[in-house]
Structure 1
Amino acid sequence: MERRTPPRVASLVVALATTLGTVVTTGTGPAGASTTPASLAQAAYARMSQAQRVGQLFMVGTPATGLSTAAAYAVSTYHVGNLILTGRSYGGPAPVRYLAASADRRTTSTATAGVPLLIATDQEGGAVQVLQGNGFTRIPTALIQGTWSDGTLTASAASWAQQLTRAGVNLNLAPVMDTVPATLGTANAPIGHWYREYGHTPAVVAVKGSDVVRGERSAGLAVTAKHFPGLGHVLANTDTTAGVTDTVTTRTAADLAPFRAAIAAGAPVVMVSLATYARIDAAHPAAFSPTVVTGMIRGDLGFHGVVMSDDLGNARQVAAWSPGARAVDFISAGGDVVLTVNPSVLPAMAVAVNARATADPVFRAKVDAAAYRVLLAKATYGLLAPRLATDGALGTLTVAALQRWLGLSATGSLGSTTIRALQARVGTTADGLWGPASMAALQSYLGITRDGATTWNSRTVNDLQAYLNTQL
């Protein structure tokens, strides 16, 4: 039976595409079909089962040092559509490239209907920088970044973003748009203690955080404005403490201005705090609050992009809720992507969301709309573009994809110009002659073991194809 995009989802297309902005160039496919982000998202949505749509609503953790068995299982079995790299990696970009390509191979038609993953990490700077080592700039704290000129900060953010995208990361869970008053400073455990704020006034945070949004987006990296409606007025950290409550912030507080600015600058994702806001909705943590998610983010701010939760897997703030209830309550409030750093709770969450979607048409409509928003964000950032077959053959399609990645005209012919550009990119002598040194450099760049090959072999081409699928 043919699947058709429900009218309620199709009606979101114009609003969502306008809000997210267009990174993908629109055009027509081989058969003349439109390839706008909206049409690509609609096509992906239409071929998905309910379980696959539900899977798009989860982001699970894997160590940044390698794809864990649990995370791989979540993608393959529970159709999970997004990963977050956690902990710390000090090996530079190469092992991250290998991880991203390995994860991408899991996105089969059975697992995710062929839809690639959002691969995210926390690359803020200071104490919160997951990916480090040679090839990743050591980023200073946000408080230091906030003292830089707008031009310097925007350019620096673009450089940091390019390092992430070339490592296979396509979403940064930054910038932090929380404002910590100077009178509270480091007594604010989640933000101020680590100097994660760009300044101590909403005006400074709005400007400097937006500089980061624009800089990172200019390099093709999706970004996340967090932690709405702000963690600047609390003392405890929701990750480690229950009952964290903000008694200051209101629905019209000045501290909301930085989030509005980040959205105006093009942030496609907003992350919701887990704190409770007594003067907004004293009955629910923000992530479970329809007032916060639907009323304020969707309504007051007019945001139609992707709303993500803060970590609902390990946070002590929500430990009183079962994992399934956490996921259902967030989506019921209007959220899109449930973040759980801990993949062990994912099965219970996915089962609960699927069960509620099957039983409750109103909830199912929220799941459908959320899945479409995630797919549109992916399409907007190029993730639903045509993909290479990982067949190990260095044919014209692979060479053309390689050339596009290198910023060259896509002729499909591997000439000396392409070879020199590739040699420069992987860090070897750019002499236009492909031999053992070039092969070794490419294998190191891809994070695979050197095998002593003297020229192209199917193993290396296969891994190159998998990597290029994370880039194009």
Structure 2
Amino acid sequence: MALPLALSACSGDAGSDSSISMPDTEIMHGSLEKSAVPSVADDSPHGKAVRAVEAMDIDERIGQLVMVPLPAGSDPSMLRDLIVDRHVGSVLIIGNWDSGTTGVSAATSELQSYAPSNNRLLMTTDQEGGSVQHLRGSGFDTMPSATYQGTMDTAQLRQSAATWGAQLKTAGINVDLAPVVGTVTVDRSSNAPIGALYRDFGLDAAGNAEHAKAFIQGLSDSGVGSAIKHYPGLGSVTGNTDFTSNGILDTTTTLDGPEINAFNTTLDVNPSMVMMSLATYQRIDPDNPAVFSRSLITDYLRGTIGFQGVITSDSMSAAALNGIQPSDLGVRLVEAGGDLACIGAFSYVQPVLDGLKAKSSADPSFAQQVTRSAERVMTLKYSLGIAQ
């Protein structure tokens, strides 16, 4: 998702030679759906994650599957009870934060103080550049739009992204919900969520993938994770899913086309997450938006492509999902094979948590899905060094 500046949440909502230990390729792309508790000797991020989740109760596992918002100007203490009592494991820093790295760091440090010392928070933001840059002020560069970034050669973009990533890390951010990997296939001005806002790299699908890789690798060079979005692309719709449920049916994207292949190619450099689109794809799954499509997430992205990392949603409080009860949103994401419910509006947090708890209590098979999702989130945390 990508609301410009103050309104954005979630989407707008690492390379192999990176300086941080991102999930191993075999973890991200291997087959871990039926994970058993590994032996004590397994000190891989996944092995540690399985043991950590085994020690959690169901409420703690559910908490790892929810990303809650802290809007600019809000007191971080507003999230204390959610982190302490409901075990929420991720926070989205959204809005017009103009207090610089010092101000953002003060907020993220306070939030981290509420989390267990061995299981810190995934601290995320939307820092794409151009109209979607939530964090500004002293210590943050003014980032050019992604379309401008597409005019850079990839080495230059990687270097710039490393600088932007270092600024995020100084501010306490460990995952940037970027880059946009979608390819605009219609008139740019009519493509409200991406083209009209210059959020894409402005190239063909292959060029967008190469620039997305450079951006991801640059962030990773600075110890910051990334999220490719909005799978399988918002470049062929007219409506912005943040604001409307109209014009968000994609009639052209297919599983064998260059647009989705740009995303799949980008997985080679191990982004931390894949963020699912809220649009519906007629030629892939006409009955469900991508974020709730089991055929797209479990069968294709996890099964055919082999991605076993964290799958997050675009903002679940976006207008595109207004027809769905908030208590069903997290449930439907996990049922489809996703993991982390990104929420842009605070009023949705409690219903999403409660919905996940009720479903887990009533359905043992769903509770097992929650466990698998919590393992994937914790694997990422160990890989980023924020769980110990």
1:224 shift after superposition: 0.2
Q: Give, in whole Å, the separation in 2 of the partners of 1:151 and 1:274.
A: 32
Structure 1 pair 283–34 and aligned structure 2 pair: CA distance change class (3 A): closer
Q: Counterpart in 1 of 2:245?
A: 242
Q: Counterpart in 1 of 2:4?
A: none
1:335 shift after superposition: 0.4
Matches within 5 A, 1:305-454: 305-313=309-317, 315-385=318-388
**Aligned pair partner of 1:40 in 27, 33, 48:** 48
Tell whether the 8 Å contact from 1:146 to 1:205 is kept in structure 2 after alignment. Answer: yes
Structure 1 pair 91–190 and aligned structure 2 pair: CA distance change class (3 A): same
Q: Deviations over 1:311-355 (max 9, x none)?
A: 002x11111110111111111000000011112221111111111
Q: Give, in whole Å, the separation in 1 of the partners of 2:75 and 2:128.
A: 22
Q: Counterpart in 1 of 2:158?
A: 154
Q: Counterpart in 2 of 1:413?
A: none
Q: Does 1:253 align with 2:233?
A: no
**Aligned pair partner of 2:304 in 294, 300, 303:** 300
Q: Counterpart in 2 of 1:190?
A: 193
Q: Counterpart in 2 of 1:18?
A: 26
Q: Counterpart in 1 of 2:277?
A: 273
**Aligned pair partner of 1:93 in 86, 89, 101:** 101
Q: Counterpart in 2 of 1:414?
A: none
1:33 shift after superposition: 6.9
Tell whether the 8 Å contact from 2:343 to 2:349 is kept in structure 1 after alignment. Answer: yes
1:295 shift after superposition: 1.8
Q: Deviations over 1:276-305 (max 9, x none)?
A: 111111111111110111122112321100
Q: Give, in whole Å, the separation in 2 of the partners of 1:357 and 1:238.
A: 29
Report the structure number with the largest CA radius of gyration.
1
Amino acid at match of 1:358: S
1:78 shift after superposition: 1.7
Q: Does 1:143 align with 2:147?
A: yes
1:93 shift after superposition: 0.3
1:18 shift after superposition: 2.3
* TM-score, structure 1 normalization: 0.72
Q: Counterpart in 1 of 2:110?
A: 102
1:120 shift after superposition: 0.1
Tell whether the 8 Å contact from 1:65 to 1:96 is kept in structure 2 after alignment. Answer: no
1:105 counterpart SS class: helix
1:187 shift after superposition: 1.4
Tell whether the 8 Å contact from 2:64 to 2:87 is kept in structure 1 after alignment. Answer: yes
1:69 shift after superposition: 4.4
Structure 2 alignment gaps of length 5 or more:
1-22, 30-39
Q: Give, in whole Å, the separation in 1 of the partners of 2:222 and 2:298.
A: 30
Q: Deviations over 1:114-142 (max 9, x none)?
A: 51100000000000000011211110000
Q: Deviations over 1:432-454 (max 9, x none)?
A: xxxxxxxxxxxxxxxxxxxxxxx
Q: Identity, % of aligned pairs?
A: 35
Q: Counterpart in 2 of 1:218?
A: 221
Tell whether the 8 Å contact from 1:20 to 1:266 is kept in structure 2 after alignment. Answer: yes
Tell whether the 8 Å contact from 1:224 to 1:267 is kept in structure 2 after alignment. Answer: yes
2:114 counterpart SS class: coil
Amino acid at match of 1:343: F
1:34 shift after superposition: 6.3
1:47 shift after superposition: 2.2
Tell whether the 8 Å contact from 2:27 to 2:46 is kept in structure 1 after alignment. Answer: no
Tell whether the 8 Å contact from 1:177 to 1:205 is kept in structure 2 after alignment. Answer: yes
Q: Give, in whole Å, the separation in 2 of the partners of 1:378 and 1:61.
A: 19
Where in structure 1 do 4 or more consecutive aligned residues deviate above 6 Å? none
Q: Counterpart in 2 of 1:8?
A: none
Query: Would you say how many aligned residue pairs link Structure 1 and Structure 2?
Result: 355
Q: Give, in whole Å, the separation in 1 of the partners of 2:150 and 2:385.
A: 30
Structure 1 pair 67–377 and aligned structure 2 pair: CA distance change class (3 A): farther
Tell whether the 8 Å contact from 1:229 to 1:273 is kept in structure 2 after alignment. Answer: yes
Q: Counterpart in 2 of 1:397?
A: none
Q: Give, in whole Å, the separation in 1 of the partners of 2:73 and 2:25.
A: 35
Tell whether the 8 Å contact from 2:310 to 2:380 is kept in structure 1 after alignment. Answer: yes
1:62 counterpart SS class: strand
Amino acid at match of 2:329: R
Q: Which has the higher contact order (CA 8 A, sep 6+)?
A: 2
Q: Counterpart in 2 of 1:128?
A: 132
Q: Give, in whole Å, the separation in 2 of the partners of 1:174 and 1:209.
A: 9
Structure 1 alignment gaps of length 5 or more:
1-14, 22-31, 386-472
Amino acid at match of 2:50: Q
Amino acid at match of 1:374: V
Q: Give, in whole Å, the separation in 2 of the partners of 1:36 and 1:195.
A: 39
Q: Give, in whole Å, the separation in 1 of the partners of 2:41 and 2:285.
A: 46
Q: Give, in whole Å, the separation in 2 of the partners of 1:131 and 1:168.
A: 12
Amino acid at match of 2:179: P
Tell whether the 8 Å contact from 2:76 to 2:111 is kept in structure 1 after alignment. Answer: no
Amino acid at match of 1:226: K
1:39 shift after superposition: 3.6
Q: Deviations over 1:202-241 (max 9, x none)?
A: 0110111111011111111110000001000000011110
Tell whether the 8 Å contact from 2:80 to 2:114 is kept in structure 1 after alignment. Answer: yes
Tell whether the 8 Å contact from 1:249 to 1:280 is kept in structure 2 after alignment. Answer: yes
* TM-score, structure 2 normalization: 0.88
Q: Counterpart in 2 of 1:54?
A: 62
**Aligned pair partner of 2:233 in 220, 230, 235:** 230
- CA RMSD, 1 decimal: 1.8
Structure 1 pair 375–336 and aligned structure 2 pair: CA distance change class (3 A): same
Amino acid at match of 1:229: P
Tell whether the 8 Å contact from 2:360 to 2:366 is kept in structure 1 after alignment. Answer: yes
1:217 counterpart SS class: helix
